[in-house]
Amino acid sequence: MDSEQYEELCRHFIAEQTGLRADDVKSVSIPNPRRPGLPEYKHQIDLHWETGDDIALYLNIANAKWRGSASVEQGEVLLLQQVRQQVGAHKAFMITNVGFTAGAVAAAKDHGIALHRVAPNFDTSVLPRRDRVAIQGALRDRASQTSGSLYSLHVENRGLGFRGATGTSKPVASPSVAPSGAKYETRVVQPPSRSAPGPSVNRSIGAGETRRGLGPGSGTRGGGGFVKK
Do 62 and 46 form a contact (C-beta atoms < 8 A)?
yes
Q: 225 pLDDT exceeds 70?
A: no
Asked if residue 51 is part of any domain, the answer here is yes
* Shared-domain flag, residues 51 and 86: yes
Provide mean pLDDT across the span 190-201: 48
Asked if residue 44 is part of any domain, the answer here is yes
As a whole number of angstroms, the distance between CA 149 and CA 152 comes to 7
Q: What pLDDT, on the 0 to 100 scale, is given for residue 35?
A: 83
Asked if residue 178 is part of any domain, the answer here is no
* Shared-domain flag, residues 144 and 71: yes
As a whole number of angstroms, the distance between CA 74 and CA 221 comes to 23
Q: 179 pLDDT exceeds 80?
A: no
Do 206 and 225 form a contact (C-beta atoms < 8 A)?
no
Query: In the chain, pLDDT over 90 holds for what percent of residues?
Result: 59
Asked if residue 179 is part of any domain, the answer here is no
Is 206 or 160 the better-scoring residue by pLDDT?
160
Alpha helical stretches, state H, 100-156: 102-111, 132-144
Residue-number span of the structural domain to which 92 is assigned: 3-169
Tally of domains in the chain? 2
Do 110 and 103 form a contact (C-beta atoms < 8 A)?
no
Beta bridge partners of 220: 210, 228
Do 66 and 98 form a contact (C-beta atoms < 8 A)?
no
* Shared-domain flag, residues 132 and 200: no
* Shared-domain flag, residues 140 and 223: no
* Shared-domain flag, residues 165 and 199: no
Q: How many helices (H) and strands (E) does the chain have?
A: 4, 11
Is 165 or 101 the better-scoring residue by pLDDT?
101
Asked if residue 26 is part of any domain, the answer here is yes
Amino acid at 139: L
Amino acid at 219: G
Q: Is the dihedral of CA 80, 81, 86, 91 positive or negative?
A: positive
Q: What pLDDT, on the 0 to 100 scale, is given for residue 222?
A: 41
* pLDDT one-digit tens code per residue, 128-175: 999 999 999 999 999 999 888 999 999 999 986 554 444 444 444 444
Q: 54 pLDDT exceeds 70?
A: yes
Beta bridge partners of 103: none
